[in-house]
Amino acid sequence: MKKIILTFGISLFAAFAIHVASTNPEANLKKITNISNPDSLKEKSDLMESKINKTEQEWKNELTPEEYYVLREKGTERAYTGEFWNHFEDGVYKCSGCGEPLFSSETKFNSHCGWPSYFQPIDKSKIIYQEDRSYGMIRTEVMCARCGGHLGHVFDDGPKPTGLRYCINSVSLDFEKAAEKK
C-alpha cells in the first residue's frame, strides 16, 4: 500500500513538474489572454479598461493577415522587409494590435539586424517578458502587456545605457510622428 501511495505521489509530482516546466508559448499566451473573463469584467471596466481580451476570431477579423500571423501566432517578419528597420523619424511606436505606446524613437538604434531595435521600452510594465525555447534557442519573448500581442524578443547585446536590444517586428508596430518643433 505504501508503495502505491509513493508511486502515486511521484507521478503527481512529475505531472506538476511537467506543468511548471511547460514553455509552450502558445499555451502560455492563452493563459495570459484568458486570465480575465471579459463578461465578468464588464462591471469593473474602470479598473480593467486597459486590458484587452478578444477572441482569436475577433483578432482575425480586425488584423491584417500579416499582423495576425506575427501578433497572434508569434510569427516573424523577414529581416530587412519591415516598415521600420531603417526608419529614424522622431515619434512613438505603438502596438499595432491595441495602440499602446511601447517604444520611443529616442531609444531606437541601428542594430543592422533587419528589424527595428530599441534599447528600452517606454515603460517596462507595458511589456510582458516570457522565456521562449522554440527553434532550439533560449530567448526572451516580449509581448504587449495590454493585448498580449507578440512583439519580438529582447537580447543582451544592445548598446548603453541598458545593454539590451529589443528586436521588434515592424508589423507589430504603428508609428506616430512627433509634432513638428517650432
Residue 48: is it exposed, middle or buried by C-beta count within 10 angstroms (0-12/13-18/19+)? middle
**Minimum CB distance to Zn ion, residue 82 (Å):** 17
Which residue in the set 29, 70, 98, 151 belongs to the binding site for Zn ion (CB under 5 A)?
Answer: 98
**Minimum CB distance to Zn ion, residue 40 (Å):** 22
The end-to-end CA distance of the chain, in Å, is: 83
Nearest to 119 by CA among 95, 155, 171, 91: 155
Which residue in the set 29, 33, 97, 171 belongs to the binding site for Zn ion (CB under 5 A)?
Answer: 97
Cβ distance 89 to 103 under 8 Å? Answer: no
> By CB under 5 A, is residue 95 in contact with Zn ion?
yes
Catalytic residue ranges: 167
- Is the Cβ of residue 22 or residue 34 nearer to Zn ion in the bound state? 34
Whole-angstrom distance, CA of residue 32 vs CA of residue 67: 19
C-alpha cell at 177: 510622428
**Minimum CB distance to Zn ion, residue 33 (Å):** 11
Strand order in the sheet with 101-104: 101-104, 91-95, 173-177
Strand (E) positions, 38-172?
Answer: 91-95, 101-104, 108-109, 117-118, 127-132, 139-144, 150-155, 165-168
Size of the residue set binding Zn ion (CB under 5 A): 8
**Minimum CB distance to Zn ion, residue 98 (Å):** 3
- Is the Cβ of residue 19 or residue 124 nearer to Zn ion in the bound state? 124
Stretch near Zn ion under the rule CB under 5 A, chosen from 12-20, 75-83, 100-108, 156-164: 100-108
- Is the Cβ of residue 45 or residue 181 nearer to Zn ion in the bound state? 45
Touching Zn ion, residues 120-159 (CB under 5 A): 144, 146-147, 149
Contact residues for Zn ion, defined by CB under 5 A: 95, 97-98, 100, 144, 146-147, 149
